[in-house]
Structure 1
Amino acid sequence: MFTRLRLSNFKAWQETNDIALKPVTMLLGTNSSGKSSLIQSLLLLKQTVQSPDRSIHLNLGGDEINDLFNFGDFDNVLHQGFSGARQFSLSFSFQSPASARINHGDFSCSYGQNSAGGVVIQDWLVKTDNRQFRSIRRERGAYSVIIDDESQPRDKGRHLSPERSVSLSAEAIVMLGQDGNVLEDLSLSIRRELENIVYLGPLRRKPERDYVWNKSKPGELGSDGHRAIDVLLASALMKSEDQNRIIEGVSKWLVRMKVADKLEVKQLGRSTRYELVVHRDDVQANLRDVGIGISQVLPVLTIAYFAPTGSTIMLEEPEIHLHPLAQSVLAELFVEVSKERNVQFIIETHSEHLFRRMQTLIARQQITTTDAAMYFVEREGKAARMRPLELDDFGRVKNWPEGFFGDALGETREQTALAIQRAKELRARDGNVPG
């Protein structure tokens, strides 16, 4: 689980300072304020560690099949209002299960440009407990490796350049001896934490009328959720307890959202084609023929049960096309599944209903402010600004931002004033009518 994130001169952010990440973290705010950039920073590192090129420092994307995002070039990532050196930095902390060889650590890295315009690491730092490993870029692409608080580097040279942002070369590991073993374990833990990110974006595919299932279990859903149906087919048809829990979990939440009574997989004749049938009020309908909200929320529900235990699930606008009650129930999904399956949710949302239900869940003591964090993001000139929402034990916000979710109180006040004025006008009119 990620426990801290910090960005400097990255996209909309000049400086975030340390952001505490909890089992359920909610990002709210205005459009184009910088909420998505927070999620994208970790996705950038995820696609870097998954790059086939070991020598790459940062994979800004471009491979439409394998990359999560195409970030463009260095100037597209660098904050437009930067001052000083043309560098940006990403930093995070994580906590792994107690059984892991390295169960907590920190990663920090600053990036600049080389003479060819490519992205290169300027200063790389990873640490755990009382151990610290640092690689600093010198002249002509050489790097110095410094261990703990030693005053002199262990070695210098191009061969000490960090790989995929999270590790040093095999040659450097050998050079470090026993310290190299510690660094190797730490780098592996950082890599696994990033690989355990599961992401679902705001744009999801429309459903088909039927699907081919080749009796395989998908490895991932895809950022647009296009493999969610394959996961549900495997869950319904592979006849194992572990698989069945996915479609059972999805069906349970569809019922709680009051959008369906049951989700069923039906084979079309003896073919390899199957359809998803939605049951509601004794009516059966193909997924294609029901409201778009069900097909859009299916990947959200599926990913909650499909993601491996210990994963970090990142969601953008999970509430899209859902009615208010269903949006509210999503908050219950995140809280309950986070506890049941030991997964972390980082959610970017515009839903007032989702937020209000989170407040209620805190008031009910179904989750505490220790396990939930909410942030309001807004623009201040060219830079994004973050405000941690301070909630008491009853879910009440102590530092309510101006214009947060519109002006509901102002709307109610105006409606009441207009109703009173209208009533006075009617009484005055009726009083002038001859009896």
Structure 2
Amino acid sequence: MIKLLHLQNLKAWRDSGPVRLAPVSMLLGTNSSGKSTLLQSLLLLKQTAAAPDRTVHLNLGGDEANDFFHFGGFDAVLSHGVAAPRQFSITLEFERPEGERVRHARFACSYGQTASGAVVVQELSLSTVARRFRVVRRERGAYAVWVDGEAQPRGKGPQYAPERSIAFSAEALALLGADGAHLQDLSLALRRELEAIVYLGPLRRQPARDQVWSKSAPGALGSDGNQVLEALLANALLKSDTQGATLASVSHWLQRMGMADQMGVRQVGRSSRYEVVVHKDGVVANLRDVGVGVAQVLPVLAMAFWAPAGSTALVEEPEIHLHPLAQAVLAEMFSQVSQQRQVQFIVETHSEHLFRRMQTLIAQRKTSPQQCQMLFVERRGADAVLVPLEVDAFGTVRNWPPRFFGDAMGEAREQARARAQRMREEK
């Protein structure tokens, strides 16, 4: 699970400060405030770690088939107006179970630009509570390798350049001898943490009416949910210990939302094509023939139960096209799944209903402020600023930002004033 994220000089974030993350973290705030950049920074590391070229320092995207996000060039990522040194940095802390123990680790990396315009690692640090390994860029592309608090680097040279932002080179590992094995384990833990990130963007693709089943399960649902039908077909039709489990869980939550009684799959005639159907009030209809809200929330629900235990799910605007009750029920789903399946959710949302239900769950002791972190993002001039909301054990927010969800009290006052004015005029 990712425990902390810290951005400096990255897009709207001059300095986010240490952003504490919980099993469920909700990012709230106005449009274009910087919320999405917090998620994108994790996707930037994930797509870099998965880059086919191990010598790449940072994969800013551009491959539509394999990358999550295209960040543009170095200047598009660097905060506006940053003077020398022109660098940005990403820090994260995470913990992963390894056998009977949990590994706590920290990754910190700063990036600069060469004279030719390439993005390069300026300093990479991987550390645990007891150990720290660093590789620092020097002149002419050489790197120095440092261990713990030693007064001198273990070695210097271009062969020690880091790989994919998260790993030391084979030459650096060999240089470190017995320490190299420990460092390699640390890099592997970081890679696994990034690989465990799953992402669902704010725009979900409309599902097909039916499709040929490939008789295999997809590796991912896709950032727009384009593989959700394939995943549901695989879960319903492949023989396994968990056959039908995802479909049953999705059906349960659709029923809780009042959107369907059940969801199923069926063969189209005698062909090799299958369709996903929705049962509601005694009527069975193709997924394309019911309200768009079902199709839009389906990838959110499927991701929650398709993602392996230990995953971190980044979800943008899960409430899109949902009525207020369904939006509120999403809070219950995120809370329950995070506890039962150990899936971490980092949710960017504009839904007051989702937020309010999470407050209620805290008051009901079904979750806690430690299990659910509420983070408000706002713009102050050109800079994004993060305000952790102070939520007590009764779900009450102690530092409620002004005009958090608009001005409900102000609207009520204006309605009363207008009503009184009209009554006077009509006498």
Give the whole-Å Cα distance in 2 for the aligned partners of 1:81 and 1:262.
54
Residue identity in the other structure for 2:290:
V
Kindly provide the CA deviation profile for residues 30-75 of structure 1, in whole angstroms up to 9, marking residues without a partner as x: 1011000000001000000000101011000111111111111101
Give the whole-Å Cα distance in 2 for the aligned partners of 1:243 and 1:160.
48
Match of 1:324 in 2: 324
Give the whole-Å Cα distance in 2 for the aligned partners of 1:197 and 1:304.
12
Kindly provide the CA deviation profile for residues 132-176 of structure 1, in whole angstroms up to 9, marking residues without a partner as x: 000000000000000000000000001111101111111211111
Kindly provide the CA deviation profile for residues 291-339 of structure 1, in whole angstroms up to 9, marking residues without a partner as x: 1110000000000000010000000001100111000000000000000
Aligned length: 427
| C-alpha contact 1:297 1:319 (8 A) present in aligned 2 | yes
Give the whole-Å Cα distance in 1 for the aligned partners of 2:81 and 2:354.
33
Residue 83 (1) aligns with residue 87 (2): no
Match of 2:379 in 1: 379
Query: Given the two structures, how large is their TM-score scaled by the length of structure 1?
Result: 0.96
Higher Cα radius of gyration: 1
Residue identity in the other structure for 2:315:
L
Give the whole-Å Cα distance in 2 for the aligned partners of 1:61 and 1:100.
37
Kindly provide the CA deviation profile for residues 383-432 of structure 1, in whole angstroms up to 9, marking residues without a partner as x: 11111111111111111111111101111222233334444555xx2xxx
How far 1:352 moved relative to its partner? 0.7
Unaligned regions of 5+ residues in structure 2, if any? none
Match of 1:106 in 2: 106
**SS at 1:42 equivalent:** helix
Match of 2:273 in 1: 273
Match of 2:348 in 1: 348
**SS at 1:104 equivalent:** strand
Residue identity in the other structure for 1:279:
H
How far 1:240 moved relative to its partner? 2.5
Residue 65 (1) aligns with residue 65 (2): yes
Give the whole-Å Cα distance in 1 for the aligned partners of 2:6 and 2:362.
26
**SS at 2:358 equivalent:** helix
Residue identity in the other structure for 1:135:
V
Kindly provide the CA deviation profile for residues 361-392 of structure 1, in whole angstroms up to 9, marking residues without a partner as x: 11111111111111111111111111111111
Residue identity in the other structure for 2:73:
D
Residue identity in the other structure for 1:235:
N
Match of 1:367 in 2: 367
Residue identity in the other structure for 1:258:
G
Match of 2:173 in 1: 173
Give the whole-Å Cα distance in 2 for the aligned partners of 1:95 and 1:394.
29
Residue 248 (1) aligns with residue 255 (2): no
Residue 15 (1) aligns with residue 15 (2): yes
Residue identity in the other structure for 2:180:
G
How far 1:98 moved relative to its partner? 5.1
Residue identity in the other structure for 1:6:
H
More divergent stretch after superposition (115-124 vs 81-90): 81-90
Give the whole-Å Cα distance in 2 for the aligned partners of 1:277 and 1:251.
11
**SS at 1:107 equivalent:** strand
Residue identity in the other structure for 2:36:
S
More divergent stretch after superposition (392-401 vs 19-28): 392-401
More divergent stretch after superposition (317-326 vs 74-83): 74-83
| C-alpha contact 1:25 1:347 (8 A) present in aligned 2 | yes
Percent identity reads: 59
How far 1:276 moved relative to its partner? 1.0
Give the whole-Å Cα distance in 2 for the aligned partners of 1:50 and 1:100.
28
How far 1:84 moved relative to its partner? 3.2
Give the whole-Å Cα distance in 1 for the aligned partners of 2:101 and 2:353.
41
Give the whole-Å Cα distance in 2 for the aligned partners of 1:267 and 1:261.
20
| C-alpha contact 1:102 1:186 (8 A) present in aligned 2 | no
Kindly provide the CA deviation profile for residues 218-270 of structure 1, in whole angstroms up to 9, marking residues without a partner as x: 00011111001100011111133313211011000000000000101010122
Q: What's the Cα RMSD here?
A: 1.2
**SS at 1:90 equivalent:** strand
How far 1:355 moved relative to its partner? 0.5
1:391-430 alignment, distance < 5 Å:
391-424=391-424, 429=427
Match of 1:185 in 2: 185
**SS at 2:274 equivalent:** strand
